[in-house]
Amino acid sequence: MLKKHILTLTFISIAALSSFAQNSNELDTAALRKAVQDTISPEGYKTLLRKFNEAPQYLYANEGAVLYYGKLFQKGPDPFQRIAAKKTFNELMLQKRFNEAIIEGERLAKADPVDLKLLVMLMAAYIEIKKEAGINLTKAKLQLLSNAILSKGKGDTDSTTLKVTSVEDEYTVMAMLKLNGKSRRSESRINSNIDHWTIITKDDSKGWGFVEDKNRQPEDKESSLYVEVLRPY
């Protein structure tokens, strides 16, 4: 069911917008740390978080990047604790108890508002019960975060890596972009791990030029994807 609803997220734009960093492929860690520690100004993390929860469609990709990557500078449960905390929510989703799952998911989202997989699954639950307000709000959140992530690199080289904050987000982003990994090779860096994926896509072209070959079968095409999983600072 989750895969079906991930495919409904094709509305997610892959246009990368300008970033707060001078080099859009680099994270300005000093600016991020300052924003997270700033609790007063309009550019502060808490102010952006309030706007994100209320009207994410009015935020820019650079503000989304502060929200998404800013979690790297916040103290909180480790990845295994976060996964354990979502056990009840995941079980409710599997049991198709969507109204209860939404209550639990919205509670979890207060602790980690930019958890991509949680937002995708909440989106699925809202779709199932046809809750338009929840669909539209979560859609705008995912739109903002996907633009923010892609503004930091599209993953086509090891110097323009697609940057995420967890392994779970790595797989979620790949699913949202409909990228199927064939194999993976990992490289450890000081503050991150880089996964070099071999991606399989289908060549669905039907023939050459204006001539359609009805007997032609789609062929697999291979390409590279570089995903950088960042560690908390």
| pLDDT tens-digit series, residues 131-187 | 999 999 999 999 999 999 999 998 999 989 999 999 999 999 999 888 888 899 999
**Residue 192 β-bridge partners:** 230
Question: Pick from 232, 217, 222, 126: which is nearest to 180 by CA?
Answer: 222
Question: Pick from 31, 11, 13, 14: which is nearest to 22 by CA?
Answer: 31
Find out whether 20 and 34 touch, Cβ atoms under 8 Å: no
pLDDT at res. 14: 33
The C-alpha angle 173, 176, 178, rounded to 5 degrees, equals 110
Q: What is the C-alpha to C-alpha distance for residues 89 and 107, in angstroms, rounded to an integer?
A: 10
- The reported pTM is 0.80
| pLDDT tens-digit series, residues 92-118 | 999 999 999 999 999 999 989 999 999
Q: What is the C-alpha to C-alpha distance for residues 87 and 3, in angstroms, rounded to an integer?
A: 18
Find out whether 76 and 233 touch, Cβ atoms under 8 Å: no
Q: How many CB atoms lie within 10 A of CB 43?
A: 14
pLDDT at res. 148: 93
CA 151 to chain centroid, in Å, comes to 12
**CA-based diameter of the chain, in Å?**
64
Q: Which helix (H) or strand (E) holds 32?
A: helix 29-37
Q: In what order do the strands lie in the sheet with 219-230?
A: 162-164, 219-230, 192-203, 180-188
pLDDT above 60 for 18: no
pLDDT at res. 192: 92
| pLDDT tens-digit series, residues 62-78 | 899 999 999 888 776 56
Q: What is the C-alpha to C-alpha distance for residues 129 and 206, in angstroms, rounded to an integer?
A: 39
